[in-house]
Structure 1
Amino acid sequence: MNLSNNLIQDIKHLIAQSRERAVRAVDFQRTVLYWHIGERIFNEEQQGKERADYGNYVIKYLSEQLQPEFGSGFSYRNLHWYRQFYRTFPIVNSLRSQLSWTHYRLLLRLENEDKRDYYIAETVKNNWSVRQMERQINSQLFERLLLSNDKESVLAVARNEKLPVTPQEIIKDPMVLEFLGLRRESTYYEKDLEQAIITNLQDFLLELGNGFSFVARQKRIHLDGDDFFVDLVFYNRLLQCFVIFEIKTHKLSHEDLGQLQMYVNYFDRVEKVEHEKPTIGVLLCADKNNAVVKFSLPENNKTIVASQYELILPTEEQLLTEIKKEIEIYNTKYTE
């Protein structure tokens, strides 16, 4: 009797799913255990709060008693983490089963509550691994989005309380592409950058954010005997539209914007179906002049976005400089 391959594959899939759920359930129970240990340590500290060193004494004593029997998970350092875990997330029912203890360890390093909420929401929604969440934190995704969006809007999108409705809410500027392994000072061609993106497509999709899927590379457009090629084509299910990328390793020019506008027009008139939204065109460039972008496009432009790429992660000092610039622009605009 021959059993179908589908039956075998289905059962293998069920086994794998069951094992994954079991691992997640065990890990979540471990996370809850650490929360309760932190709660118990904190409550014990409050009883001896008149002595400043009482908390450290409690943790040191517990470590000496627990570590020999239960292992390194109950070291002095880890017990400190459990106490901080409880103090940072004081409501046990707010813990998310999709997040492991290692996820929460990363989150404990973030002092800003809104920032933690954002990364929790994004991790749950996108099923980020610890490595993926760490990269987004290190690339300062939250801060970069805040440079072009108000805080409440960013958090509302992350929490699924509202869907993004404009390209600016979902297309990052700048895009940080340090995972491509290209050195900023090196000479390379647009095809090299494109190939590096394809080679690291999973990381690029992660940098793009929610709802993106890859469609095509070097999409051929034939217009009355002339051939043109769109560098990269994606689709975004949240915005329900094509998102096409043109890559330029030089400073943006108005000719680049005109070329991209032609591609957008083609997709809108030929590729797009009735229920889909207008195509978004993204000019991914090494440098740009915002004034050139502004005056090269119609005032009511909603579909063309120029995004500068960075090949190294921004430093905290660079980010603070950009934030100060935004504050100065805001103050100049609204206080005069």
Structure 2
Amino acid sequence: MLTNNLLLLEIKNLIATARETAVRSVDFQRTLLYWYIGERIFNEEQQGKERAEYGNYLIKYLSEQLTPEFGTGFSFRNLNWYRQFYRTFPIVNSLRSQLSWTHYRTLIRLDSEDKREYYIAETTKNNWSVRQMERQINSQLFERLLLSNDKESVLAVARNEKLPTNPSEIIKDPMVLEFLGLRRESAYYEKDLEQAIITNLQDFLLELGNGFSFVSRQKRIHLDGDDFFIDLVFYNRILQCSIIFEIKTHKLTHEDLGQLQMYVNYYDRIEKLEHEKPTIGILLCADKNNAVVKFSLPEANKTILASQYELILPSEEQLLNEIKREIEILNSKND
């Protein structure tokens, strides 16, 4: 009977996999159809480019002829999308079968080729749904990673051309936790923030990025009669190390960094396996002073990081201004 149950389970998995593959295949064929329609419209439009309104006239004409027979997928607005699709992605062989038309329609709106390349690579690698990809775009993931890395490094990690060797290549600052549903102006305790993270663990893992898995909450450490509790413990298979989080709802202090350093030392000396890399500690705080972080830690520090959390999605302008400020600081140091 057990053999029959296993056989049934295997067949069910085969059916589910085949259905998923069929859906992906049909959706990719639809994506290719829209690309080819966009190509034809664009090429025809170029032939009549001496007429300023020829493009709109052509798309309007096609829409009026196609919509009655094939439906709203060929409306004036959608045909414009298909033309823009071709203009944004002019090489058909570069299209990824893992991405749906809705993925591509979202990517078309991005104003930078580097951004599009980054989100395509990450979506393909992590099998992001449209909703997950949109959330990462809206949270300015690409710009946040640029705050502590150069563009080439960010793109290389996304393309799997290099493995991250520095925690800053993965860890984001700030972290955007709008999915927790907490309001900035509301009073809440560290345990409330921790509980909200556990309740929304899947979204938190998505925000953390590649390779993270949850290990423990309120990990107890017993030191000569005194008990201490680490808020959250994760493991990252890419960095091959434990990553521990301390949560502070106030502005970071040097005492907070000292506490986190003790936890990291404990993990390195007691918990870490021989083949694993040094433990990383992340202080997740409501606010921070970068100078305090810099002078509270050794100059060669690579294992203690401070990341400020935001409870609302940041604007692109805010992050771009922050990037410019970081570049100016870096340039002033090099002068």
- TM > 0.5 fold call: yes
Q: Which residue of 1 aligns with 2:295?
A: 295
- Write the deviation string for residues 172-220 of structure 1: whole angstroms up to 9, x where unpaired: 1110101100000111100000000000001101111111111111111
Q: Between 226-235 and 114-123, report the one with greater CA deviation.
A: 226-235
Q: Distance in 1 between matches of 2:291 and 2:329?
A: 15
Q: Secondary structure at the match of 2:188?
A: coil
Q: Distance in 2 between matches of 1:254 and 1:208?
A: 24
Q: Distance in 1 between matches of 2:310 and 2:88?
A: 33
Match runs of 1:67-216 below 5 Å? 67-216=67-216
Match runs of 1:274-289 below 5 Å? 274-289=274-289
Q: Write the letter of the residue equivalent to 2:225.
A: G
Q: Which residue of 2 aligns with 1:236?
A: 236
Q: Secondary structure at the match of 2:60?
A: helix
Q: Is the contact made by 2:251 and 2:288 (CA closer than 8 Å) also made in structure 1?
A: yes
- Write the deviation string for residues 1-47 of structure 1: whole angstroms up to 9, x where unpaired: 67533222221111111100100000000000100000011111111
Match runs of 1:11-22 below 5 Å? 11-22=11-22
Q: Distance in 2 between matches of 1:94 and 1:166?
A: 30
Q: How has the CA–CA distance of structure 1 residues 198 and 91 changed in structure 2, closer, same or farther, with 3 Å as cutoff?
A: same
Q: Distance in 2 between matches of 1:126 and 1:320?
A: 26
Q: Which residue of 2 aligns with 1:250?
A: 250
Q: Between 310-319 and 281-290, report the one with greater CA deviation.
A: 310-319
Q: Distance in 2 between matches of 1:178 and 1:241?
A: 27
- Write the deviation string for residues 217-267 of structure 1: whole angstroms up to 9, x where unpaired: 111112222211111111111101001100011111111111111111111
TM-score by length of 2: 0.97
Deviation at 1:333, TM superposition (A): 3.0
Q: Secondary structure at the match of 1:4?
A: helix
Q: Which residue of 2 aligns with 1:324?
A: 324
Q: How has the CA–CA distance of structure 1 residues 264 and 76 changed in structure 2, closer, same or farther, with 3 Å as cutoff?
A: same
Q: Distance in 2 between matches of 1:215 and 1:3?
A: 34
Deviation at 1:300, TM superposition (A): 1.3
Q: Distance in 2 between matches of 1:13 and 1:51?
A: 56
Q: Distance in 1 between matches of 2:218 and 2:22?
A: 43
Q: Which residue of 2 aligns with 1:306?
A: 306
Q: Write the letter of the residue equivalent to 1:207.
A: E
Q: Distance in 2 between matches of 1:172 and 1:46?
A: 44
Identity %, equivalent residues: 85
Q: Write the letter of the residue equivalent to 2:156.
A: A
Q: Write the letter of the residue equivalent to 2:159.
A: R
Q: Which residue of 2 aligns with 1:41?
A: 41
Q: Which residue of 2 aligns with 1:7?
A: 7
Q: Distance in 2 between matches of 1:70 and 1:222?
A: 69
TM-score by length of 1: 0.97
What is the RMSD computed on CA atoms of the aligned residues?
Answer: 1.2
Deviation at 1:331, TM superposition (A): 4.0
Q: How has the CA–CA distance of structure 1 residues 2 and 251 changed in structure 2, closer, same or farther, with 3 Å as cutoff?
A: closer
Q: Secondary structure at the match of 2:80?
A: helix
Q: Write the letter of the residue equivalent to 1:76.
A: F
Q: Is the contact made by 2:219 and 2:230 (CA closer than 8 Å) also made in structure 1?
A: yes
Q: How has the CA–CA distance of structure 1 residues 88 and 225 changed in structure 2, closer, same or farther, with 3 Å as cutoff?
A: same
Q: Distance in 2 between matches of 1:323 and 1:261?
A: 28
Q: Distance in 2 between matches of 1:218 and 1:156?
A: 35
In structure 2, stretches of 5+ residues that fail to align are none
Deviation at 1:321, TM superposition (A): 2.6
Q: Is the contact made by 2:241 and 2:280 (CA closer than 8 Å) also made in structure 1?
A: yes
